Structure 1
Amino acid sequence: MKTIAVADAFLLEEYYRACFEKFPEYELDKVLFFGDHDRTGMRITAHKIERNGPDAVEPPAELYDAIEDAEILMVHLCPVNSRVMDRAKKLKMILLNRGGTENVDLKAAAERGIVVLNNPAHNANSVTELTLGLMLSETRNLARTHVNMMQGKWIEHYSNVGHVYELAGKTIGIIGFGNIGRRVARKLTVFDCNVQVYDKYVGADHPDLEKYGCKFVDLDTLLSTSDIVTLHVRSDDLVLTREDLFKLKKGAYFINTARPHLIDNQAMWELLHSHHLAGAAFDVYMREPITPEEPYIQLDNVTLANHRGGDTVNCYSDSPAMLMKQANRYFNGEEPEFFANKKWMK
């Protein structure tokens, strides 16, 4: 099947070509390029698309002609709007090398009979490992210690004095028990933590809860009793309101590697500024890249990463092959693992 792929500063052309060598039944006709070659500029573009959808940024001009007789389109961050689809008379499938679907008009694809498969698992392990790293960095002051040591300062006490503890025996609350949440739970087993889980879409009978030694609780219980709360939800809506956040246990830590809009950031800032919370670590922000006006940089009890969650070589290089396997499942009459627009398909 004739395939068009669109590379970018993160998912390189060489990753596509290496993938399609393993799947000779698919013809990789062209590899186009979308966006800035600079990753910082590309992050700005991606953030704009994530906030405003597939019409926020124009795709490569050559895509409109290249797509006309293609049967499969594979992208990462490139927007795929209804205008692109209108030119794609033979298109059967869009393969999306990411979990977020903001850059593809899912309903428009369904209306045209185009299947969209996304890949939330492509960065699941990468985000999981970063989450654990941020837990350790924030609770043990690793980033703060490094900054001070590089300045020749030997600091014995930080703002979380009295709350610098080992993970063993502590209660970790995981909000969201999907691809990443389950991996976090599994990896935490080696730290001898008590893990509790809340997910509005998962019941207490989920087999992985027992498998990883997790306890299923309601949201209020999780917030009020966890020593560390980590958020792993995919939603366009506010998940933790001001009222929810003020239920967090005094002296607790909070980790967000998911999406910035999932929490009331003003309420979070107040809880950190007052030191009701011992600390927090963030990988996502309402404005990216951050500016000197970013409220969180005013605080002495946060660890900030610049959206590194999916920034590993494996995360990008392995994704196309993962998607091709799912495409094969679909074309062989099997159910693909991630069918992004299934609910709109007729």
Structure 2
Amino acid sequence: MSQAPEIRVAILDDYQNVSLTSADWSPVQGRCIIDVYRDTLSSEDDLVRRLEPYQVICAMRERTRFPASLLDRLPDLKLIATTGPFNAAIDVGHARSKSILVSGTSGKGNSTLEHIWTLILASARYLVQEDANIKKQARQWQSYIPLGLAGRTLGLVGVGRLGSATAKIAKAFEMRVIGWSPHLTPERAAQAGVEFVASKEELFRQSDVVSVHMVLSDATRHLVTESDLQSMKPTAFFINTSRGPLVDEVALVRVLQQRKIAGAGLDVYEVEPLPQDHPLRTLENVTLTPHTGYVSDTMYEVSTQ
């Protein structure tokens, strides 16, 4: 009797080397070969060379893109499993047309919401800068005056699930919360406990902290413009935990370099991982995290749907 061919599984973009310890792989032991890759390849030709032998791919979030052109070049691929219930980097419709099953995981906890407030508080209280000053033994004991949040205005670009949850926490800090999005209505804003503002320009002008909570699409790419950023108060902070391309990143860098605003807290970027020579890496008035808003031990422990 001929032996069944071995199934090959590729786990991609495991930056933190946690994939094999965050799930129970015992049911497939001895039945497949599992290879773990910790780097990210951007070239489609390089990806094809790497992934051609595999029938199953485990994608860590949206770190590697699977457009139709790549799927067409992987004839042996049968299954893509991804962390999280949605993965915008996968052309799910094209995968379905090729009989490639795409499976996701459920969510658990409030990782992204926690990260939003981590960046807001770290930015407003200059946490990273003061930590660095202490560790480098700076003679100046206190260098910055934190922005008190009580009575200040939080502007939400997008008032969906995450925006609404962010607003609730802002109320605990006694903040005023205003909201705008292309399709937000006064009625929906009121349901979320948020003051409706009629224009994006007015939201950026009034806010002491602006936080972005939008889905990336062709219509929302570079939704936040240089004009929006320039209209912010010089004491204000800009926070983005959604998607990098929602913002004109070149304009954001320029505004930060010119210190037109107090600072920014960013978890997402136009290109990820952020290039080593990117100017954001050199700015003192920005707090950067490596797209870990979704990441937590509880989120990685959830079982597949």
Answer whether TM exceeds 0.5 for this pair: yes
Distance 1:155 1:270 in 2: 29
Deviations 1:44-68 (A, max 9, x none): 44xx3xxx7x77723544423xx6x
Cα shift at 1:261? 2.1
State the partner residue of 1:189: 171
41, 54, 67: which is aligned to 1:63?
Answer: 54
Correspondent of 2:259 among 266, 271, 275:
275
Which amino acid is 1:108 matched to?
H
**3-state DSSP class of the match of 2:154?**
strand
TM-score normalised over the length of structure 2: 0.76
The amino acid of 1:228's aligned partner reads V
1:296 aligns with 2:296: no
C-alpha deviation, 1:240, in angstroms: 1.1
Deviates more, 1:281-290 or 1:183-192: 281-290
Identical amino acids, percent of aligned pairs:
23
User: In structure 2, what is the Cα distance between the partners aligned to 1:124 and 1:178?
Assistant: 17
**Which residue is 2:37 aligned to?**
35
Deviations 1:125-166 (A, max 9, x none): 2222122111111111111111111122234333xx5xx322
Equivalent residue runs for 1:177-216 within 5 Å: 177-206=159-188, 209-210=189-190, 212-216=192-196
- CA distance in 2 between counterparts of 1:249 and 1:101 reads 34
- Deviation, 1:178, is 3.4
Amino acid at match of 1:33: D
User: How far has the Cα of 1:265 moved from its partner?
Assistant: 1.9
Query: Residue 238 of structure 2 aligns to a residue in which SS?
Result: strand
User: SS of the counterpart of 2:122?
Assistant: helix
Residue identity matched to 1:213: G
Whether the aligned pair in 1 keeps the contact of 2:177 and 2:195 (CA below 8 Å) is yes
Instruction: Give the corresponding residue for 2:205.
Output: 224
CA distance in 1, matches of 2:187, 2:101: 31
Distance 1:296 1:31 in 2: 40
Q: Distance in 1 between matches of 2:216 and 2:109?
A: 16
- Which whole-Å CA distance do the structure 2 matches of 1:61 and 1:110 have between them? 19
| Residue 82 (structure 1) aligns with | 71
Q: Give the aligned partner of residue 101 of structure 1.
A: 88
How many angstroms apart in 1 are the aligned matches of 2:255 and 2:286?
Answer: 12
Contact map agreement 2:158 2:213 (CA 8 A) in 1: yes
- Could you say what secondary structure the match of 1:255 adopts? strand
* Larger displacement relative to structure 2 (282-291 or 165-174): 282-291
Rounded Cα–Cα distance in structure 1 between residues aligned with 2:74 and 2:52: 14
Match of 1:132 in 2: 117
Say what the alpha-carbon RMSD is for the aligned residues.
3.5
**Which protein has the bigger helix share?**
1
Residue from 313, 317, 328 that aligns with 2:301 = 317
Please tell me whether the aligned partners of residues 52 and 76 of structure 2 are also in contact (alpha carbons under 8 angstroms). no
The one of 142, 154, 167 equivalent to 2:149 is: 167
Q: Which amino acid aligns with 2:246?
A: L
* Preserved contact between residue 128 and residue 183 of structure 1 (Cα < 8 Å): yes
State the match for 2:3 in structure 1. Answer: none
Q: What's the counterpart of residue 4 of structure 2?
A: none
- Compute the displacement of 1:274 (Å): 2.6
State the partner residue of 1:39: none
Contact 1:282 1:303 in 2 (8 A): yes
Give structure 2 stretches of 5+ with no counterpart.
1-6
Instruction: Find the counterpart in structure 2 of residue 111 from structure 1.
Output: 97
2-side partners of 1:108 and 1:235: how far apart? 19
